[in-house]
Each structure stands twice: as C-alpha cells, then as structure tokens.
Structure 1
Amino acid sequence: MKTGATFVMTEALHTALREHLFPGDGLEAAAIVLCTRYEGKRTKLIAKSMISVPYDVCERRGDFLRWPGDYLERAISESEAAQLSIMLIHSHPGGFLGFSELDDESDRITMRSLFAGVEVIHGSAIMIPDGTIAARLYDASQCPTDIALVSVIGDDIRLYFNGIDGCALIDGKSRVPLAFTSEMTQALSKLSVAVIGVSGTGSVVAEQVTRLGFGEIILIDHDRVEPRNLNRILNSTTADAESSAFKVEMFADAIERVRGKGVAYPVSKSVGTREAVLAAADADILFCCVDTRFARMIADRLASRFLIPLFDVGVLIPTMKVEAVGMTIAGVYGRIDYVKPGGASLADREVYTGESLRAESLRAANPEVYQQQLQHGYIQGFHEEAPAVISLNMLAASTCVMEFLARAFPMREESNANYARTLIKFREAEQEFTAESGFRHTPDSGLALGAAEPLLGIADLSGGF
C-alpha cells in the first residue's frame, strides 16, 4: 500500500521555479511555494502559486544562501486567510540531492516563524539542476518528515520518489525507470490510482493496473453486477449477478486474489457523492471510465483542483439506416483524452458541455420529454453510446493505460504534447491524434484549490459549513 505524504505541482509552475532557481550563474537561489492541502489517507500538498525571492536581496554563493525575512512575512500574509501551507525551496547548483547541516539549521529557525504566523504544516525543499526535487514536512513538533513523492504533472508525468533515497542519480541527473521493467513495477508500487467506473472499459483498466503493480487501487462505482453485464465486465460471474454484488466489491475481491490484502479500496458510491470525490482525491493517477457526461465533469474538476493527471476513455458505435440494407454500423470508435491540470480540460474539448449536461439531466428526469426534444431538434449533437462489446472495450482501455505509461515512463519518439487525444477509428483502420495545442484552453479559477468548500465548486457536495 502507498504511504507517505505527497507534494504535487503543475509542469508550468515547476518550469517557473526551475528558471528562477537556476539563472545560470552557478549560485543558490530561493523561492516560496504556497500550497493548499488535503488531509485524506495521506497528506497531499497542492502547489498553488510561487513567490520568487529576488537575487539582489540575497547573499548568494555556490553552496550558501541567506535571504531576508521580509519574504517570509509576505508568504505568511498571503497564506493566513486560507490557512495555506508554505514550502520554502532553494537550489543546489552542484547537484547534491539532499539537505545539508546548514539547511537543517536554517529550517529550525524559519519553521518556528512560519508556525507563529500560520499554524499548519509547512515544508522545505531543494531542487537540483535537472529539476529533481526532494522535500520534507514540518508539523508542530518541528521534526522533519521526508515527503514520499513529489509529482510534476504536465505533458510528461515526473515522479520523484522519497526525495533523496528514492531517486537514482547518474552524473548528477535523476534517471526515470525504464518502461516495462521491474524498475517500473517498483515505481508503480508507490503510487495510488483511482478508477472511476468499473464496468466495460473500467474493469479492463482495473485489471491492468492490478497486474502492473500499483500500490493502491481505488475503485469507484455505485452499480451492481447484472446478468447483462457478464459479457463485458472482467472477473464477474453468474454468482455475482445472482447476488447483485457491487461491481467494486466484486473487483476488489478479484484484486485480493491476485495481489493480497491492502491494495484494493472499493467505494460503492456514485462519483457525484462527497465520499467518492474525497476517496478519489487521494489518488496520484485518475482513470475515468464512465458513460455519463456528469461523471466526466466530476472527474475533470477532481483533476483540476487536486492536480491529478486524468485519463478519460470512451467508446462509441453509432449506427445508420441505409436504404435496402437497413441498420448498419456507421463507425467503431475509441477515444482517449489525457488532461493535464492547467491544460485543456474535458470541457474545453467539448467532451461535455452545458447543453449536453442539461440533456442528460432531462433524460434521467423525464425520458419522454427528452425524446420529444430530440425529435424536434432541440438537443444538438447528443448521441446515445451504443452498448460496447468487450473487444472494443479492451482495445480502448489498453490504449488508455499505455497512454499513462508513455507519459510516466517516456518512450515515444515525439513529444507527448502531440497526443492529448487519441481517436481510434477501427472501421476506417485509422488513428487520429490531437496535440494539446489543438484545443482551446480556458483559464481555470479552480486550479489547485484542493478540498476548498464547496467541494469541486458544487453546492450539493458541500460539507455543510
């Protein structure tokens, strides 16, 4: 099972930090990162913004840094209202991925000041020239605890495990585990993954992450196994259908048979409930395998507020009526979207829209009115997803998991930025790819807000305070 705290940031913020901390003069530099915080099973610090400490106000050397307290006061002032955590970060231009005795002494002084201003956990971190970060937390006892994982989420997913001890260094640079090796398996064992929707595509995704070796697998689905599900849900049996077993409970049992206890965490609730959202917020990676636009909106907001990389998969088999032939298959499609927090969202890509959410809500509330509106053309571009066959589900779900592997353990010839969306067109024997730059991007006011109320900005998910 995954243990230890996590510090996560967007690629954009990491790039800004690295540019400031390494201006090219070989001297140490400093910055401050303000973080929201989620206290789930583990502590997660979510980087929200940074304060650059100007070079000219610091005493800087290649292995020494002193900076004025004015910037600590500014950080405290900006953190007080929302009770943000403050992460102090400085560079080690020489490439030493660790905290020196001087760093320890400096922390003992500065952490007391931070706690006097904002009584929450704070931290300190160091960055080496290749961008690798090691970090630690301080609580009220003033004793440091290493952060288990620092994640940088962008076109690539950079995972810095346990700061100092978990990073392999070669010539002063961290080395990413090679894909498809036991090193990759070891890295995955330190990650938590959430699979939203454990049915046609979701059960195939869940099977893969189980056997790839993820340390914790959070399964979210409120539905039960039915006889009509047995042709497409992996590991389901007639006994599960007869007993109307929850899909997540059934699959958690299957995971236990393969991996043992303590890996699967089933949540038999709709993803639109507070319990399910907070369970998913613990994850490092998010797979969305659902068939409703509302659930995709929830996953989209989860990814944004908690800075979780999101992989969304869907399949579609439209039909058409041909004269003298009757109904025929118009297409066989699988779609995989990768959403990096701060990038083009599923909403930006029109995977769901305000209109399609309204149509879906109307269908659920009153199917007859929905059909009338559809016939009169009031609802544009809304298509029912045809029941998917297991072969198409497996193709799309495997492509979805491969998309994750390609980003966490880079293997492509081209930049991952070129593959924000993959569209499988089986009938035409084609695959189409859309780059991140191919989608419009709307600034997201909810980015890195964490569990701020109302949760996900949705009043119905409010904790009542």
Structure 2
Amino acid sequence: MMSPALTLSGVHYDRLGKHLFPGDGKEAAAILVCARTPGPRLRLLVKDLILVPHGECRTRRPDEIDWPGAYLEKAIDIAEPLGSAIVLIHSHPGGLFAFSAADDASDAVVMSCLFEACGDIHASAVMTPDGAIRARLYDRSLKVTPAQLVNVVGHDLLYFWESEARNPHRACRPMAFTSGMTAELNRLTATMIGVSGTGSITAEQAARLGFGRNQYVEFDKVEAKNLNRILNATLDDAKTGRLKAEMFAAAVATYRGPDVAFPIPREIGTRDAILAASQSDVLFCCVDTLEARQFADLISSAFLIPLFDVGVTIPTRKTRDGGVAIADVCGRIDYVQPGRSTLQDRGIYSPETLRAEYLAKADPDAHRAEVEAGYIKGFAEEAPSVITLNMRAAAACMNEFVVRAYPFRLDPNENYARTMFSLAACDEDFFAESTFTAAPNPVLARGDQEPLLGLPILGRRRKEAA
C-alpha cells in the first residue's frame, strides 16, 4: 500500500460527526462504503454512509459499543458488486485518539468476516470530539497499515495526519502564510489544468508556496504571441515550439529542485491526464474552454478532490462612432467541493453550451465564435496584454485555497463558494454555497470504476485497443 489515505466529502463528514456525537457522552457507530482511486496512490473515497441507529445498539457506553450485524450485511450488499472497501468507524467520546484493546479484538473477528464476503482492503477508524479521525487499513492477511492521511473536502479543507496522532492539537490547522503551512503543503499534490495565462501564474504560486508535487496538464506549445502573459516562457521556447507543460516544469526545477514538477502534455479529457489528476489533493482549473471545465468538474466529483476554477473576461461595447470600447474587466473564482454544487449546477456550462463550443471548434470558418471565445469579447486580438488581469484573478484563486485549508476569514467559508470581481466598477461580489442548487451527481465518489468518469470513451478496453 502506497501512503494510504481516507477521504470524506464535507457533506458526509458533517452527518457523521452529528451522529457519532449526539451529546449523550456514549459511543456511536457508522459504516463507510468506499470506492478508491486508481493506482499507484491508494485513497479510499467515501461513497455511502450507513449510520447505525443509537437505539438499535445492544450496548452503548462511554467506552463500549455493540451494534447489530444487520447493518454490516447492508454494507456488504452495497460493496460486493464493485469490490468496494468497508470502513467501520465509531466515536471515542473520552478523546482517546488511538485504537483500544477492545477495538483490536473486534477488528480481528469482523475483518475476517468482511474478507470472506467481498473486497481485498477494508478499514476501521475512530473519531474524537474535536472532529479528528484516525484510520487503519487491513489486507486479506489482516496486516495493518495506518492511513497516513484522513482528509475532508468541505467548506474548510481538513487534514488529519497519522504522524500527528500524538499531538494534542492535531485538529488545529497550521496558521496561514507560515512555515507550518509550507511544511504541510510539501506533503500535498496540486494539479494545474492549463498553464497559460492564469494557469502559469497559479502554477508559479503553487510551486513557491511549497506543494510537494506539482502536475501540469497542458497539451499546447509556447508561441510568440503568448510570451506577454505566460510566466517563465522565453523566446527560445517560442522559436522551438516547446510544450508549455515541459517548459514550466523545467523552470520550477531551477528553484525547487528535482522531483517536484511533472509535465503532463495531454488534453485533460484524455485517460492519461485523468489518471494523473486522480492522484491529486487539489485541482486548479485555469482553462478557456467549457469542455475542459466539464472534465475538471467530473474529476473533482469522481475522486473527491477540491476544485478551484478561475476565469477572466473583458466584455466590450459599441461606441457612438461605430468603434469598440471596454465595457468591463471581470474575473470569477469558483470553489467546488464534491457532494455540493458543481460547475454545471452553477451554470458555468450546460449540454447546450458544450454542444455550441464543439460545433464552433469543428468549423474552421467559425471566426466569430473564435473571437467570442477570446479574452476580449467581440474584438479580435492575437496577443492581448492581460497579465495584470490574470495576476489579479490567479492570486484570488490561490488565496481561496489558502483560506479554505488555513482559515483566516472573519465569516464562515461557506459564504464564499463564488467570487466575482469587476475592475471597471471596483466591485467584488460573493455567493454562498446555499445560492446554488446541487443536482443528483451519479459520478460522485465513483473512483476507479470503469469506464472512468462514467464515460465509455474513457474505458480501459478502448484505451488498450488504441
């Protein structure tokens, strides 16, 4: 097992905490049915949550619980068809952040039964009143491997590290903008989808903030016309048509050293890029197409990865003399957490707009559509001088990640699912998560189930045939 981890959405984490700590000081139990990420990194992704009713437990005391096996049978029925992992979790109201001798004895019996029924990996976990979770994984030989990380993707981003289990302040987050934040980021993987205008600036911030692994999904090549807005790009890169992903990874290596920056010169809609992104702890989407945003949305949902999406636009207006003038200079940052509203739910794209984009792309004569897709709406500009706008938007995007993982806002983070700014009006608007309605999400916590993301074109057999 490679650095195993357990990941919960904020929706599941909130429900779990309320159930495990009802206020009576007694232990409570639940079962998590989990998908997993494709290899090499093993992350168990909580897909289904089964709460064991307090009143049906045979015994409930401050340091003991005995619950009926019918709920375990229900979990097996859900897990067996896909070989999902089952995680047994209970509370320790007294605050013990470890597995007791009674927990060890119970696992020895129950895990053997689970493996007879289904799966090749199962786990047990405990939760303490401060919200911290500790988990351990079992294989068929009943060998135990601690989960190195339990993380929660909610309004706040929570990380509970096995190495910090003995720290009485384990549930306290490091302070933003400190060496403690840098040390933790060094243990995380960030994937940048797009390293052009806003993407290169976002990627530069991520590398210098200290993410331990930085992945760059970008298929395009450096051209002279975009040297005015892509950080680290040079004249030589443009002359040779160097891949943007490889250019940026090489630049980062000059100040971070080897084995930190990794180019993925593919379109995000390809199987290789999706598999690489599935290994991430956070996604930054910095693209200019709706199709790419759709794939980022699906990857976030399927693998329970927080998604930060950034976009900029410069709408224009007609002047009285028939010319063109800038009407506004705008930016948008969306934070998407799996289990709540997606980019599609928020109207960023729809089946209709995806179809229109595809038709425009397929028609080489669709010049008007190409103009509309650029930075300056309604005005053809090959090399727009927009680095100042991109800097503003990219900084807001990265700060949104920082404030989620290392909270410093005066108001709850749930009030800031979307930020929109207007440089023309000197205005900034915020939209709470409750502003948006989340539709049923069939891809949520799908994990490595084939075909990837539920899309037949991404199936393994199709890949092998190619």
Instruction: Please give the TM-score of this superposition, normalised by the length of structure 1.
Output: 0.93
- Name the counterpart of 1:457: 454
Structure 1 residues not aligned, in runs of 5+: 376-381
How many Å apart are 1:246 and its aligned residue? 1.1
Matches within 5 A, 1:3-402: 4-55=3-54, 56-162=56-162, 165=164, 168-170=167-169, 174-324=171-321, 326-368=323-365, 371=368, 384-386=374-376, 387=384, 389-402=386-399
CA distance 1:207–1:383, shift in 2 (3 Å): closer
The whole-number CA distance in structure 1 between the counterparts of 2:331 and 2:366 is 30
Runs of 4+ with deviation above 6 angstroms: none
1:224-278 per-position Cα deviation (integer Å, ceiling 9, x unaligned): 1111121111111112112211111111111211111111121100001010011
The whole-number CA distance in structure 1 between the counterparts of 2:173 and 2:451 is 38
Report the more deviating stretch, 438-447 or 128-137: 438-447
Q: Given that residues 84 and 119 in structure 2 are in contact (C-alpha distance below 8 angstroms), is that contact kept between their aligned partners in structure 1?
A: no
CA distance 1:343–1:119, shift in 2 (3 Å): closer
1:129-183 per-position Cα deviation (integer Å, ceiling 9, x unaligned): 1211011111123111111211111111111122x6357424xx72111111111
The whole-number CA distance in structure 2 between the counterparts of 1:37 and 1:285 is 16
CA distance 1:460–1:101, shift in 2 (3 Å): same
| Secondary structure of 1:50 counterpart | strand
1:440 is the counterpart of 2:430: no
| Secondary structure of 2:81 counterpart | coil
Q: Given that residues 362 and 370 in structure 1 are in contact (C-alpha distance below 8 angstroms), is that contact kept between their aligned partners in structure 2?
A: no
How many Å apart are 1:370 and its aligned residue? 7.4
How many Å apart are 1:389 and its aligned residue? 1.1
CA distance 1:383–1:199, shift in 2 (3 Å): closer
How many Å apart are 1:68 and its aligned residue? 3.4
Report the more deviating stretch, 425-434 or 51-60: 51-60
Identical-pair percentage: 48
CA distance 1:388–1:278, shift in 2 (3 Å): farther
CA distance 1:120–1:420, shift in 2 (3 Å): same
The count of residues paired between Structure 1 and Structure 2 equals 452
Q: Given that residues 308 and 333 in structure 2 are in contact (C-alpha distance below 8 angstroms), is that contact kept between their aligned partners in structure 1?
A: yes
How many Å apart are 1:39 and its aligned residue? 3.0
Q: Given that residues 97 and 165 in structure 2 are in contact (C-alpha distance below 8 angstroms), is that contact kept between their aligned partners in structure 1?
A: no
How many Å apart are 1:71 and its aligned residue? 2.8
| Secondary structure of 2:183 counterpart | helix
Q: Given that residues 348 and 441 in structure 1 are in contact (C-alpha distance below 8 angstroms), is that contact kept between their aligned partners in structure 2?
A: yes
The whole-number CA distance in structure 1 between the counterparts of 2:357 and 2:241 is 26
CA distance 1:245–1:412, shift in 2 (3 Å): same
Structure 2 residues not aligned, in runs of 5+: 377-383
How many Å apart are 1:286 and its aligned residue? 0.6
Instruction: Please give the TM-score of this superposition, normalised by the length of structure 2.
Output: 0.93
The whole-number CA distance in structure 2 between the counterparts of 1:190 and 1:445 is 30
- Name the counterpart of 1:378: none
